[in-house]
Structure 1
Amino acid sequence: MAKVLAVLSSGYTDEEHNYVTGWWAEELFAPALELEKEGHTVELASIDGGKPIVDPISVSADYDPNGIYKKQYESGIADKTMPIVNVKASDYDAIMIVGGHGAMFDLAHNEDLHAVINVVYETGGIVSAVCHGPAPLIYTKTKEGRNLLEGLKVTGYPNDKEPKEVVDLLPFSLEDELNKIANYHEEKDHDAYVVWGSKQILTGRDPQSSELFGRELAQKLTERTLKLEEKFTS
């Protein structure tokens, strides 16, 4: 089946404001489970490689009351990641950028990640991101020089859900930056929301959308894999 690269923030610390963030646990583990159910393989990468910093709030009782994601994190599943500079992008059928505020700090402007995204896209793969994960997509440009998300329908974490205590610590507003190049939708009436901006671009709104996001990606990859198999056997 398909091979998916999940990209995580290596983490960000602001000692002055006692602020630590990184990747969001549910946004890795919930989609990965859906992908694995369909028989797809998920490999992990981060900017620095090694063990990336999980946002501690994402494995707290408030956001993970049953301890599902904390247990997965503590199992060591995400302790080993490839440095993004070492990734051979052409090996992957899809890239999945995991959210968490950390994505806005180290993933957003990383040129090595932009290059990996472009290779996956230009070879016909799926580029997907959930919650704050679209941050690097905002700044990724195609070989023609246009923004990857230009004019597309997208979603991501909305301004009205950002915690007031961290807004001033963030480098930019995800919603505002998405709106500059794409057609941002929040769909407040939906408990979970994902959108295909094109047949190759999938975005999910928030942690609550993680499972749906993973299911959409998994099913699309399965459909594509079966079509390829039919093509080669016919």
Structure 2
Amino acid sequence: MAKVMAVLSSGYVDEENNYVTGWWAEELFAPVLALEAEGHIVGLASPKGGKPVVDPISLSEEYDPEGKYKKLYDSGVADKTTPIVDVKASDYDAIFIVGGHGAMFDLAHNEELHTLINIVYGQGGIVAAVCHGPAPLVYTKLPNGRGLLEGLDVTGYPNNMEPKEVVGLLPFSLEDELSRIANYKAEANEKEYVVWGSEQILTGRDPQSSPLFGKELAKKLTSIEQKQEEKFFD
């Protein structure tokens, strides 16, 4: 079994505009369910530690019609996170960044997170992100100065899906920033879309892509483990 660290936004509040955001429920829970189904272990981290702020819209009937993710949230399984600064990166085989607009505010330029990403990547682990989760990957530089995503195929939440009332409150356009350094793809005709930019980099487009994103990540980790076992017994 592989060990995976899921990183969530601690949350962001704009009192002047009555705007509250954080991590998106489906983008944590759907991948976690897929990973755990394959026997992998998932830990949780956030900038501040403790209970991070979930985007309340992600638990609404519109986005969670069956109440599946609200039930998981209410159970308290995401109430305790480790501060990013306290995470021992070398213990993990993969890291995935949970989406939600909050990632653009407190994860994008978080240097402690960039360091964590670099350690996992440097030891051959997988770096994955879904929806707005690629925001910190945009600004992560490798030790050689090259951007982590530079020149790779990537996806993430597209401009034409951003709610009009939110656009002016966001610090940047994720699609624009991804397009600046990488080969951004939205594949609008696909119901779900994820892309492997390399053997170590996985990105998913939106909340609807979260289940597929989780399955892809879980499958890859299982495959890596199986190859390691075969090599050990050869």
Q: Which category describes the TM-score, using the shorter chain as reference length?
A: over 0.9
Q: Distance in 2 between matches of 1:152 and 1:179?
A: 10
Counterpart in the other structure of 1:100: 100
> Residue 140 of structure 2 aligns to a residue in which SS?
coil
Say yes or no: does 1:10 pair with 2:10: yes
1:60-108 deviation digits (Å, cap 9, x = unpaired) = 1111111000000000000000000000001000001000000000000
Q: Distance in 1 between matches of 2:128 and 2:173?
A: 19
Q: Distance in 2 between matches of 1:86 and 1:187?
A: 37
> What pairs up with 1:34-73 in 2 under 5 angstroms?
34-73=34-73
> What pairs up with 1:1-234 in 2 under 5 angstroms?
1-234=1-234
Structure 2 runs not aligned, ≥5 long: none
Q: What percent of counterpart residues are identical?
A: 75
For the aligned residue pairs, the C-alpha RMSD in angstroms reads 0.4
Read off the aligned partner of 2:119 and give its amino acid letter. V
Q: Distance in 2 between matches of 1:66 and 1:49?
A: 29
Q: Distance in 1 between matches of 2:132 and 2:91?
A: 25
Read off the aligned partner of 1:59 and give its amino acid letter. L
Q: Distance in 1 between matches of 2:184 and 2:151?
A: 10
Q: Distance in 1 between matches of 2:80 and 2:45?
A: 8
> Residue 42 of structure 1 aligns to a residue in which SS?
strand
TM-score by length of 2: 1.00
Report the count of equivalent residues: 234
Q: Distance in 1 between matches of 2:54 and 2:225?
A: 32
Q: Distance in 1 between matches of 2:37 and 2:64?
A: 22
1:147-184 deviation digits (Å, cap 9, x = unpaired) = 00000000000000000000000000000000000000
Q: Distance in 2 between matches of 1:108 and 1:229?
A: 36
Q: Distance in 2 between matches of 1:175 and 1:8?
A: 20
> Residue 16 of structure 1 aligns to a residue in which SS?
helix
TM-superposed CA distance for 1:231, in Å, is: 1.2
1:116-137 deviation digits (Å, cap 9, x = unpaired) = 0000000000000000000000
Read off the aligned partner of 2:45 and give its amino acid letter. A
Q: Distance in 2 between matches of 1:107 and 1:100?
A: 11
TM-superposed CA distance for 1:233, in Å, is: 1.7
Q: Distance in 1 between matches of 2:195 and 2:88?
A: 27
> Residue 5 of structure 1 aligns to a residue in which SS?
strand
> Residue 5 of structure 2 aligns to a residue in which SS?
strand
Read off the aligned partner of 1:111 and give its amino acid letter. E
